[in-house]
A and B are shown apart, each in its own frame.
Chain A
């Protein structure tokens, strides 16, 4: 593949791969000037997204989300807790994002990745403040027992746009969640009712299943996010790791299903976000939210 005319002598003689490694910024700018990216995408287009539900049999709800090569596995397990006295009717969600050493050459075992706690906190804030989950639905017995949902998200392959993929997998896992049917025991403990076995039903005679109807959570205002890179006057949606490493200004917009903005995040970077850039990012995020809503909608039908 020949390079177009260039003022630099060195770059006309080099192979493409070497040029890509040694002059990454120029390599990308050559593509951007033609409104393309090296993988052939348009500037505002996100990569192919796939969501699969219910893969982890030990969890009450799970989902695998892939955006391009970035792969996230989210799993929710429900446990019972005593709710706090100032909110006796509410349960709780504990979210944690892990980047195991398999996902990227930059992560070492024993030392958590730099990005992991940041994404963990942002995800937690986004999910709880978007109002997607009504914590009152997690209540079992007011003041005595409520559900605590442990949501663990594992990054299996890190190729850029980690926050987007993690949020998508978390939302999909919640939509897949089947809360186990439980009843209140004589001792005041909550026990699970398993359909087949009869040995322990003797002790659960009086109390009916506490939550026979409420097996699935109602999700309203589902948040969807899009991360973009701002570089000079280009806006690139859904960056890969290579793009993120060369161009440092990342902007994440989170919108919910009614087009309200849930969060806007830009942390430093050399490019300034003027209001025109912000508006374009929000526009791109809006389109992306529609795509993601459709993908999730197709999943729920199963």
Chain B
């Protein structure tokens, strides 16, 4: 009576999949309206909370539209793998998805590419010399994937690190921009990412105006890249303000 899910019972979803909206091009005009009614240069409203997981040293929950992510930070704690003495700390990152994160049934495996990109984004901003011989583990779980997953994971991770008290040069925020035809759209949703011509993701330290990671894929013209960079820097500093407010609220709430 119980299922043996690994065995050969193939199942299919009855939902009508694949009826995606194609952008309508009228000459050089682009007639695309964003599914959630935002302006092209408008980010989704952000919900950020620290202290989501009590068993972790620090944690944060972020909800940007339909993208929901929880990040836990453990450490600094003993490195099981490192046999060699190192006078700087180590960082270990992992990003995984739930099986219900995307509309089609997935396996919910670890996303190795995102894990390594998260590592690269964080290693520029964490002061590793403050925790020698030990490791800080940053684990992310994407509960629901609604677009711009990696940017949300990175921002949420930096909030969790701040909640854990790990020393950093600054908070980092990440924003991505999608290029469809000639228009740039900031903070794309899954539908827009599916038909984009190019994607641009930037992680920066808002107060210091320094970029820790920049990922550009697809077709881009130079003026577009410059415009995307300006958009991202602007959005990153606004997001940085929101994150600071969130941390201040959490700190004053705990004092009461």
Contacts and interface: CB of A to CB of B under 8 A. Distances in A.
Nearest to B75: A105
A289 interface: no
B53 interface: yes
Nearest to B13: A79
Q: Which of B15, B54, B55, B143 has the most CB of A within 10 A?
A: B55
Binding site secondary structure of chain B:
loop
B250 interface: no
A180 B15 contact: yes
B16 A103 contact: no
Interface stretch (A3-11, A88-96, A253-261, A274-282): A88-96
B215 to A, nearest CB: 23
A102 B59 CA distance: 9
Interface in B7-31: 9-16, 19
A93 B3 contact: yes
Given A73-B143, A80-B14, A102-B141, A124 B55 contact: no
Interface size on A, as a range, is 35 or more
- The interface centre, meaning the residue of B14, B99, B110 with most chain A CB atoms within 10 A of its CB, is B14
A299 B12 CA distance: 31
A152 B14 contact: no
A192 B14 CA distance: 5
B5 A96 contact: yes
Nearest to A68: B54
B135 to A, nearest CB: 11
A179 B41 CA distance: 38
Given A56-B144, A100-B141, A104-B55, A156 B77 contact: no
B100 A81 contact: no
Interface residues of B, number: 43
B72 interface: yes
A159 B10 CA distance: 36
Given A57-B144, A58-B100, A102-B59, A191 B16 contact: yes
Interface string B85-121: 0000000001010111111010010100000000000
B171 to A, nearest CB: 20
A159 B56 CA distance: 11
Interface in B228-256: none
Contacts of B5: 94, 96, 150
Contacts of A191: 14, 16
A172 interface: no
Interface string B126-150: 0000000000010111011000000
Contacts of B53: 71, 102-103, 156-157
Contacts of B2: 92-93, 124-125, 128
Given A62-B100, A87-B1, A150-B5, 5 more contacts: A80-B14, A103-B55, A148-B3, A150-B105, A182-B14
Interface of A: 56-59, 62, 69, 71, 73, 75, 77-82, 87, 90, 92-94, 96, 98, 100-105, 108-110, 124-125, 128, 135, 148, 150, 152, 154, 156-159, 180, 182, 189-192, 194, 197, 199-200, 241
